[in-house]
Amino acid sequence: MPELPEVETTVRDLQKKILGRKIDDVWTDFQKMIKKPRDFKDFKKGIEGRKIENIRRRGKNILIDLSGNKALLIHQKLTGHLLLGKWKKKGNIWLPPPGPLSEKVNTYIHLLFTFDDGQQLALSDLRKFAKAELLNKDELKKELSSLGPEPLDKSFTFENFTEALSRPRGKIKQVLMDQTVIAGIGNIYSDEILWRAKVHPFKEISQFSEKELKNIYQAIRKTLPLAIKLCGESISDYRTLSGETGFFDKARKVYRREGEKCNRCGTVIKRVKLAGRSAHFCPNCQKL
């Protein structure tokens, strides 16, 4: 699933490419992807002719502010990612131009917006779990009200971090992935953050010293910006707006590296299940 770095990479690219453009047309072959309004005709009617005024991120959500007090929310979920280019329609299939957009992972197009300059924004999603919603600003505010603080905001100080972690109970990996505690961190970056902080993913929140919490906080503030700089992780389906892979794989230390040696101490990386998710860690560097 695209996490904060992947979503932020997409948003920053969109800001450069489509800000100020007008949406001329909307197409889908999977109407269940449209959650609000439920009827695609209403969704299409509500979007066409509107101008893109701003593009931003909240947690893992892409938010496109439109003229007329409307906003388009896109959550890419497990295998979804946005692409920008020009496609040709053959029957009910959109044919990509030669290049990265023609890679298989980029061809599962189920939602497509056409702009006034001929460019198109497509949502490719193999599993079809992604969602799109057209909301007014009050509805959007309510939709996002449960999200925790943004870990890259200047206002996210160590004090804010410890306050956020003072309420929940449970194991640190689960807490870091809880979007109501901190917004944007998922399975990949919780593993990477905890490796850099030398913290075991199963350690209970109640057991942390101030020094350990500082290590986690600092790891968050270093890992996420690095991942954004490297355009995210493409070990699975995620691709950048141009259809290319991100480069965080070069910096990945533990996620999906079970059986390989730890870059820090040489111990073999382990993978264990935690509430149905995988946790990757070094049993030597990250002792419980």
Q: CA-CA distance, 148 to 220, in Å (whole number)?
A: 15
> What are the tokens at 242?
């141009």
The catalytically annotated residue of 58, 198, 221, 277 is 277
Distances, alpha carbon 197 to alpha carbons 23, 47, 98, 200, 225, in Å: 45, 45, 43, 9, 16
Residue 6 bears catalytic tag: no
Contact yes or no for 4/12 (Cβ under 8 A): no
Residue 3 bears catalytic tag: yes
- In the chain, % helix, strand, coil (3-state, to 5) comes to 30, 25, 45
The catalytically annotated residue of 60, 173, 252, 257 is 60
Give phi and psi for 30, each to the nearest 5. Answer: -145, 85
Element (H, E) at 21: none
Residue 74 contacts by C-beta under 8 Å, 6 or more apart in sequence? 61, 62, 64, 82, 123, 130, 131, 132
Residue 277 bears catalytic tag: yes
Residue 169 bears catalytic tag: no
Q: Which residues are catalytic?
A: 2-3, 60, 277
